[in-house]
Amino acid sequence: MLNTHQQSDKKALFWFRRDLRIHDNHGLSYALNHYESVFCVFVFDRNIINQLKNKQDRRVEFIWRSIEALKQSLIKQGGDLIVLDGAPNSLIPDLAKQLKVQTVVTNHDYEPYALSRDNQVETQLKDLGIQFLTFKDQAVFEKNEILTAQNKPYTVFTPYKNNWLKQLSSQHYTYFDGPTKHFAKSSSLDYLLPSLTDLGFIETNLTTLKIKAGESGAQELLNEFIPRMSYYHERRDFPGIRGVSYLSIHLRFGTVSVRELVRQALQLDNKGSATWLNELIWRDFYFAILWHFPHVAHGAFKKEWDELVFENNPQLFNAWCSGLTGYPIVDAAMRQLTQTGFMHNRLRMISASFLVKDLQIDWRWGEAFFSEHLNDFDLSANNGGWQWSASTGCDAQPWFRIFNPITQSEKFDSEGSFIKRYCPELKDIPPSKIHAPWLLSALEQQQYHCVIGHDYPAPIIDHKIAREKTLARYKLN
């Protein structure tokens, strides 16, 4: 697919997807360095956005605002952004033909739908005599770049990580740049940006949540995180404090380069930055798992775990989705997700374990719910996280290890500050009693203005009983 011969007097079309930035963009840099005129396009892909049930989707607004910012940046550089709405497999070849370009350039995408879409686009472009070049941009290592000594994909994280670190050199986090004078604009095209309403969506609470889109939003967050990165290893597990980077949505849509994050971590070179780098390696690992084992998108990595039979009680599932399980740390986590589109990583593990191993509900139900609500939803990472929690994945939590929601709550939100933020009905309960409020006496419930079963639900299951049921279920498989 890749042909690197010089094209100094020719035209290219760069297709933005999950790389919504000008700086340190591998494919864009290649186009600017090898072509005299580079046109830019983004497509609101109807094959994806038509599947979104909620027309008030924060991700669509985030993309829209990032596109708006990207368009302004390109205009300042003498170019512009063509924004299309429809099916890319027909729109991209049609546009390439209309602009009379020799090449369409873009960056790799690894998800099953994206691979199928890109194959269709490449085939149609070939019929038109137009080449299709794609580049590695959203991962540090991809596909077959990190393999075992037997040339097989890794299925356990730690040896993968060790090899990843061993192979890492400056070429893997090099900065990609290109002469912006080659940005072009066609006088025959309409460059108007469709509104959110035109796309069939409405504004969300993105602005209220202070989630800033685009490259500048990512840079602002990164600048704020760098001084905190040194303490990342100590603070990242506590949802009540500002311990994480909050950059995941920017990584997801490529408003920041993963190479920039690697550079920052290596430059700092301490325990906090090493732990942060570890998270970026997990991201590559899950990309690789999806690439080598595409069946994980539909079922268990370890196929024998597809035989697991879950109870799948819809009422329990709805209580979990609504943050009404009676377990405060789980409820606060689920409310954070539905109200903001963000969920702290420690809470993802707690709420996922609770759904599968306490409520006896199929992990795919939870995976689908997260995929609808997470701002930073990424198929590979979401799937990897859920399979880890369900003990069906490649690098799974052992099935006999089951998170206790009360001890997790006591350990990671000891003062109950996070719980009180999202479960205000518990605000008057002291820290020592907030993690299991059903144990309050009737008098205490009156005293703390929280009557269990009235102001806040009683637990929908007993963790101890649920744990025994799960152990029996997994043992039988």
Over the stretch 147-165, which tens digit does the pLDDT of each residue have? 999 999 999 999 999 999 9
**What average pLDDT does range 340-356 have in this prediction?**
97
Cα(191)–Cα(273) distance, rounded to whole angstroms? 42
Kindly report, residue by residue over 46-95, the tens digit of the pLDDT.
Answer: 999 999 999 999 999 999 999 999 999 999 999 999 999 999 999 999 99
Cα(449)–Cα(455) distance, rounded to whole angstroms? 8
pLDDT for 25 beyond 50: yes
pLDDT for 354 beyond 50: yes
Q: How far is CA 444 from the centre of its chain?
A: 42
Rg of the chain, C-alpha, whole Å: 24
Cα(375)–Cα(212) distance, rounded to whole angstroms? 12
Q: ∠ CA(136), CA(388), CA(53), 5° rounding?
A: 70
Nearest CA among 465, 429, 416, 298 for reference residue 368: 298
Q: What is the dihedral of CA 391, 393, 396, 399, to 10 degrees?
A: 20
Among the residue ranges 57-71, 91-105, 392-406, the one predicted with the least confidence is 392-406
Residue 5 confidence class, pLDDT cut points 50, 70, 90: very low
For 139, list phi and psi in degrees, rounded to 5: -125, 160
In the chain, the amino acid numbered 421 is R
Q: How distant, in Å, are the alpha carbons of 87, 128, 356, 463 from that of 8?
A: 31, 21, 56, 66
Q: Is 109 exposed, middle or buried (0-12, 13-18, 19+ CB in 10 A)?
A: middle
**What average pLDDT does range 250-255 have in this prediction?**
98
Cα(421)–Cα(441) distance, rounded to whole angstroms? 24
Q: What is the dihedral of CA 205, 210, 213, 216, to 10 degrees?
A: 170
pLDDT for 326 beyond 50: yes
Residue 457 confidence class, pLDDT cut points 50, 70, 90: very high
Task: Say whether pTM exceeds 0.75.
Answer: yes
Domains of the chain and any CATH numbers: 7-137 (3.40.50.620), 139-174+214-292 (1.25.40.80), 303-476 (1.10.579.10)
pLDDT for 477 beyond 90: no
Q: Is 295 exposed, middle or buried (0-12, 13-18, 19+ CB in 10 A)?
A: exposed
Q: Are strands 7-16 and 35-45 parallel, antiparallel or unpaired?
A: parallel
Kindly report, residue by residue over 118-138, the tens digit of the pLDDT.
Answer: 999 999 999 999 999 999 999
